[in-house]
Structure 1
Amino acid sequence: MTEVAPSMWARFVARVRETSWAIDANDGIIATAGLLQGFAGAGAGDRLLLFTAIAAMIAGGLSAGGAKWAEVAAERESELEIAAREQDELERDPAGELATLAAHWESRGLSPELALEVAQQLKARDALGAQLDAEHGLEEITHRSAPWWAGLETAIAFMIGAAIPVLITYYAPVAIETWAIIVAVVVSLALTSLVAAGVGRLSALRMLIRSLAVGLGTMGVSYLAGTIFF
């Protein structure tokens, strides 16, 4: 079974069709805005707020990207271990593995004779791939570059979301900054939630309510914490 390396365009299209990029962007918006509201509640000035926003964007993006890289890398390692185990079983007991593959197809509704024929043809074409698909639902091994791409894409999506409160902090005076950030966060979360709902064919209203509840709740709690404890 070979690893498939998708092209950059195919990877981009697949990413756009997922909802995870919008969720990562929402995380960037919420995390950065929440941190800013906490500092604003504590009475921080423009310069400190701008530094906080930039630091949150960079650190949050790197953290989110690193976590995604580790997650996909762990999945790939697990897939490789499963593939190695299946390859060993194929070498030690090819007849038994063929019977297992035939039983899988028989359980899917084929007659015993047809199931055996299908299993034999699949084994002749790609024995390991057929076993991984039938026994583990694994159609292909994640390519070695996938963890790096996943981490990079997540980091970029997070930073794009975080850039919204960063830009507001840079351009808006501190007197209107808090309200400007709240309005921008609400609009941004609404747009990304609606896009994600459309891409994932989910309930737009539910996704919007969840995103706004988390975003506004985070900012509210952070602002109160800054007001009370500083």
Structure 2
Amino acid sequence: MIRPHREMHLVARIGWLRAAVLGANDGIVSTASLIVGVAAAAQGRTEILVAGVAALVAGAMSMAAGEYVSVSSQADTERADIARETQELATQPGFELQELADIYVARGVEPALAREVAAQLMAKDALGAHARDELGISEVTTARPVQAALTSALTFAGGAALPLAAAAFAPPSVIVPAVSAAALVFLALLGGVGARAGGAPIGKAVLRVTFWGALALAITAGVGAVFGVAA
């Protein structure tokens, strides 16, 4: 007897994983860059920590609001397409049947079989078949605004806390290199964890995230040094 087995596909994680990686990456990069910029401008530890905490709180709220608004827009578009498809199924069932069959033909199914498959799927769940195969909307990829907002806010705060902690414990004279080095290490770890969770190549993800993080830190440190000297 052959026992059915359950498969756990990594694409099921795409909704929260994207928001989590984005939030943590932005938290590390933006907060570390701000701290490095303020420190490079020859500010004291108190000013540096106040700026870092403000960046953490403001960034987390901004990420939550931004993710909620953008993903809500996606959800609104999906609902509008579903409503349109529902109306077309009610008024033009024959056209919708042929449209679904044509999709399967384009994927390599014989025309007669494609029409039979389309008819059977529409008999069971016409809207679900069209949402999945015509619109590309499924349970896995559907927009979830609240999930995206909470995930982004929490992971941003967690990411921002790491360079902030490095700044709090590093000697004042080495805050810039200490925070920069810590941020790059944290970014490399984030890239590796995110790649592992998503089943992607780890080396490529680590290189990508550390490169852009290092670039952001270098530019911000340069700006801070220029304004610090000018002051």
TM-score by length of 1: 0.84
Pairing 1:47–2:46 present: yes
Contact 1:19 1:200 in 2 (8 A): no
- Structure 2 gap segments, 5+ residues each: 1-11
Give the C-alpha shift of residue 15 in structure 1.
6.4
TM alignment of 1:2-21, pairs within 5 A? 14=13, 18=17, 20-21=19-20
1:191 corresponds in structure 2 to 189
Q: 2: distance between equivalents of 1:15 and 1:154?
A: 13
2:130 corresponds in structure 1 to 131
Paired letter, 2:153: A
Q: Secondary structure at the match of 1:70?
A: helix
1:208 corresponds in structure 2 to 206
- 1:19/1:200 CA distance change after superposition, 3 Å: farther
Pairing 1:26–2:25 present: yes
Which residue, 196, 221, 224 being the options, matches 1:223? 221
Pairing 1:179–2:148 present: no
Q: Deviations over 1:164-194 (max 9, x none)?
A: 1111222333223222212211211121112
Contact 1:17 1:199 in 2 (8 A): no
Q: 1: distance between equivalents of 2:226 and 2:109?
A: 68
Q: Secondary structure at the match of 1:139?
A: coil
Pairing 1:142–2:119 present: no
Which residue, 154, 165, 175 being the options, matches 1:156? 154
Paired letter, 1:76: A
Give the C-alpha shift of residue 89 in structure 1.
0.8
Q: Secondary structure at the match of 2:17?
A: coil
- 1:91/1:158 CA distance change after superposition, 3 Å: same
Structure 1 residue ranges (4+ consecutive) displaced by more than 4 angstroms after TM superposition: none
- 1:96/1:148 CA distance change after superposition, 3 Å: same
Give the C-alpha shift of residue 122 in structure 1.
1.0
1:106 corresponds in structure 2 to 105
Contact 2:37 2:222 in 1 (8 A): yes
- 1:60/1:122 CA distance change after superposition, 3 Å: same
Q: 2: distance between equivalents of 1:78 and 1:112?
A: 31
* RMSD between superposed Cα atoms in Å: 2.2
- 1:91/1:60 CA distance change after superposition, 3 Å: same
TM-score by length of 2: 0.84
Contact 2:27 2:156 in 1 (8 A): yes
Q: 1: distance between equivalents of 2:213 and 2:169?
A: 22
Give the C-alpha shift of residue 209 in structure 1.
2.5
1:119 corresponds in structure 2 to 118
- 1:47/1:188 CA distance change after superposition, 3 Å: same
Task: Name the count of aligned residue pairs.
Answer: 216
Give the C-alpha shift of residue 77 in structure 1.
0.5
Q: 2: distance between equivalents of 1:177 and 1:52?
A: 14
Range moving further from structure 2, 24-33 or 97-106: 97-106
Q: Secondary structure at the match of 2:108?
A: coil
Q: Secondary structure at the match of 2:42?
A: coil
Q: Secondary structure at the match of 1:136?
A: coil
Contact 1:197 1:203 in 2 (8 A): yes
Taking only the aligned residue pairs, the percentage that are identical comes to 34
Contact 2:31 2:52 in 1 (8 A): yes
